[in-house]
Amino acid sequence: MLDYLWLIPALPLAGFLVLVVAGRRLGEPLAGWIATVMAASSFVVTAAVFLALLGEPEEERRAVDVLFSWIPAGSFQVDAALLADPLSVAMALFVTGIGSLIHLYSIGYMHGDRDYTKFFVYLNLFVFSMLMLVLGENMLVTFLGWEGVGVCSYLLISFWHTRESAATAGKKAFVTNRIGDVGFMLAIFLTFSTVGSISYLELNEAAAELSSTTAAAIALLLFVGACGKSAQLPLYVWLPDAMEGPTPVSALIHAATMVTAGVYLMTRVNPLLHEVEWVGTTIAVVGVGTALFAATIAVAQNDIKKVLAYSTISQLGYMFLAVGSGAYVAAVFHMITHAFFKALLFLGSGSVIHGMHDEQDMRYMGALRKFMPITFGTFVIGWLAIAGVPPFAGFWSKDEILLFAYDKSVVLWAIGIVTALLTAYYMTRQVVMVFYGEARWDDPRDAHASSPGDEAVADHAGGPGRRPHESPWLMLTPLVVLALLSIVGGVMQLPFENLHFLEEWLHPVVEEGERVLASGTKDIKWILAGVAAAVAFLGIGLAWLVYERKKVRAIEPKVLAHAWYVDEGVAAFVDGPGRAAFQAIADGDQGLVDGAVNGTAGAVARAGAGLRRFQSGAVRNYGLGIAIGAVALLAWFVSRGLL
């Protein structure tokens, strides 16, 4: 079965090509079904590869499939090769699995859209790129996928490009990601010049022999790339705006798969990170800082998708905390469970938006549990999972991360716990605002302060008096499946003896870098788990009191609603000192560079004006000149005795 590894990315690519050529003729809904079938068959092949690998003994679970020699240039040899090992196959499994579900959902969600087929063209291209990213055997193939998902992300964020805000958000995502990509590229260059190859296997083997400076430089440059793609401080700014895209896109790209690429990359090179302790610490600090920072913002957002976007950034922060703490299994574990419940929440919010006739502002929702029972039921499961309530999937993965964070530093653990409290709080706030309380969807618009997304929403919103409705089964099926996965997802890796399935599976890949817990930490792991669960209930209870019972006044400071004024700050900085600096540089350019060029030209012009006098136009003057010259030349030769 491993011989058919190439089929995994080839199937979505085939779907992409078919839809590019014949998409318009196929139309709705056939184009959507073709795309879905391609993604689903890719999932089937991945599952077969997974089973084939499972049948091998542990140390032989690795297969490289060289498709062709891509760049044979002297000592720089790059193959277009795919790598199947426990990590890449685990990633491919959930990418194709969740990807198929979201394709299915999109058939219903994008119903009636003008660019229905184009959406699926992009979606299939995305799945292909993402699979190249995770299955790449060397950094360049990964980079190809990395840029591919970036392009798809750009195209899908600005899918409704006639809307100014969507087009701008796409550009923002693209430009911000470029900054990270430069880091990735420099890492590739540095790897080649020091290791002599950009294959992951060779890099990881050579990791121990690299000087600590080189190892740290490569790791940090890769981390810069990861920060861009996975929306970590300070390159997170594009992700909240990316919510301008259709909701299935937010679920697939900006929650479940693409944004986890950075975590995947870090896990892939874990032997390298293992070499230098302080790099891990840096990553952990950035991760936990992002987690807390984004969680505080999520507390005061009113757009249903913005809450989830900041929540995603926060959860990605957890994953980087895990990576930095050397808990690669926990990072992948949380990546997968997060993909389940965050895709569920996004698709649920999409269902709500769909049912509310394109309303996104939670202040105009409420009491939806009676109108959308299935969406409500699944959303609640997602909510409990992300809040960290046992025994839902999110509890187990978050608990494992916090355990390792505690082992590294109590401070990291404490910040993680505070973030967990905030997570439970803002998610409860969202559930209450959307599904509980009294119905507010007929409220006059000016009753609440307007938010940036309002005009866009108003275009689509139906008039007052239209009742919310439950979504079609095409959209509900993925919700139910994801809800089931969010409940049982924790089974992959339970903190009991002999139930560490994921750890055993990933062991060959992460054995170099995985942190060994101190025995003191192991002893109190149940206490830590208890604290985490208690904190989750505390957060839920607090938010319940504030928003459902309304016993406590809500604290939603303006500074949080404006996301700490980061965007405004950047805009002010670029517009003020930034503009002045660029103006100064432009002036300097005009004075110095242009001055030198213009000065030279001016000198030549003046010299020319002086020399014009000799061009009299009279033939006899020229003749005289020639004669004098000839005589002078002759005289010179004679005087030197040359003649």
Interacting residue ranges for another protein, rule: CB under 8 A? 611-620, 623-624, 627
Phi, psi of 71, deg, nearest 5: -125, 90
CB of 175 to another protein, least distance (A): 55
Alpha helices in 356-472 (DSSP H): 373-387, 393-408, 410-435, 454-460
Radius of gyration of the chain (CA): 30
Please identify, using beta-carbon distances, which residue of 600 and 616 lies nearer to another protein: 616
CB of 615 to another protein, least distance (A): 3
Residues in the chain, overall count: 643
CB of 637 to another protein, least distance (A): 16
CB of 580 to another protein, least distance (A): 48
Long-range contacts of 161-170 (CB under 8 A, 24+ apart): 163/244, 163/456, 163/459, 165/244, 165/452, 165/453, 165/456, 166/244, 166/245, 166/456, 168/241, 169/238, 169/241, 169/242, 169/243, 169/244, 169/245, 170/244, 170/245
Mutual angle of helices 116-135 and 7-26, in 10-degree steps = 170
Cis peptide before 391 (omega within 30 of 0): yes
CB of 625 to another protein, least distance (A): 10
Residue 348 in contact with residue 386, Cβ under 8 Å? no
Please identify, using beta-carbon distances, which residue of 570 and 631 lies nearer to another protein: 631
Torsion of CA 299, 302, 305, 310, to 10 degrees: -30
Please identify, using beta-carbon distances, which residue of 21 and 624 lies nearer to another protein: 624
Which H or E element spans position 64? strand 63-73
Close Cβ partners of 612 (under 8 Å, ≥ 6 residues apart): none
Q: What tokens were used for 1?
A: 């079965």
Q: DSSP string covering 338-388, please?
A: HHHHHHHHHHHHHHHHHHTTS--BGGG---GGGT-HHHHHHHHHHHHHHHT
CB of 613 to another protein, least distance (A): 7
Please identify, using beta-carbon distances, which residue of 553 and 612 lies nearer to another protein: 612
CB of 574 to another protein, least distance (A): 53
Residue 492 CA to residue 495 CA, distance in Å, equals 10
Residue 527 CA to residue 541 CA, distance in Å, equals 21
CB of 634 to another protein, least distance (A): 12
Q: How many C-beta atoms lie closer than 10 Å to residue 571's C-beta?
A: 12
Which H or E element spans position 259? none
CB of 612 to another protein, least distance (A): 4
Alpha helices in 56-138 (DSSP H): 86-109, 116-135
Please identify, using beta-carbon distances, which residue of 51 and 624 lies nearer to another protein: 624
Please identify, using beta-carbon distances, which residue of 71 and 626 lies nearer to another protein: 626
Residue with tokens 């990316």: 242
Please identify, using beta-carbon distances, which residue of 591 and 625 lies nearer to another protein: 625
Please identify, using beta-carbon distances, which residue of 516 and 611 lies nearer to another protein: 611
Residue 207 CA to residue 253 CA, distance in Å, equals 31
CB of 633 to another protein, least distance (A): 14
Please identify, using beta-carbon distances, which residue of 570 and 624 lies nearer to another protein: 624
Query: For 643, what's the count of Cα atoms within 13 Å in the CB-facing half-sphere?
Result: 7
Residue 270 CA to residue 257 CA, distance in Å, equals 20
Please identify, using beta-carbon distances, which residue of 613 and 640 lies nearer to another protein: 613
Strand, helix or coil for residue 199: strand
User: Is the dihedral angle over the CA atoms 475, 478, 484, 490 positive or is it negative?
Assistant: negative
Please identify, using beta-carbon distances, which residue of 473 and 622 lies nearer to another protein: 622
Please identify, using beta-carbon distances, which residue of 72 and 623 lies nearer to another protein: 623
Residue 187 in contact with residue 221, Cβ under 8 Å? yes
Phi, psi of 498, deg, nearest 5: 65, 15
CB of 640 to another protein, least distance (A): 22
Please identify, using beta-carbon distances, which residue of 208 and 634 lies nearer to another protein: 634
Residue 621 CA to residue 25 CA, distance in Å, equals 82
Please identify, using beta-carbon distances, which residue of 488 and 634 lies nearer to another protein: 634
CB of 610 to another protein, least distance (A): 11
Nearest to 167 by CA among 158, 175, 159, 176: 158
CB of 614 to another protein, least distance (A): 7
CB of 611 to another protein, least distance (A): 8
User: Is the dihedral angle over the CA atoms 504, 510, 512, 513 positive or is it negative?
Assistant: negative
Please identify, using beta-carbon distances, which residue of 520 and 617 lies nearer to another protein: 617
Identify any residues that bridge with 66 across adjacent strands, giving them in sequence order: 81
Residue 403 CA to residue 53 CA, distance in Å, equals 30
CB of 607 to another protein, least distance (A): 13
Q: DSSP string covering 77-88, please?
A: EEEEEEEE-HHH
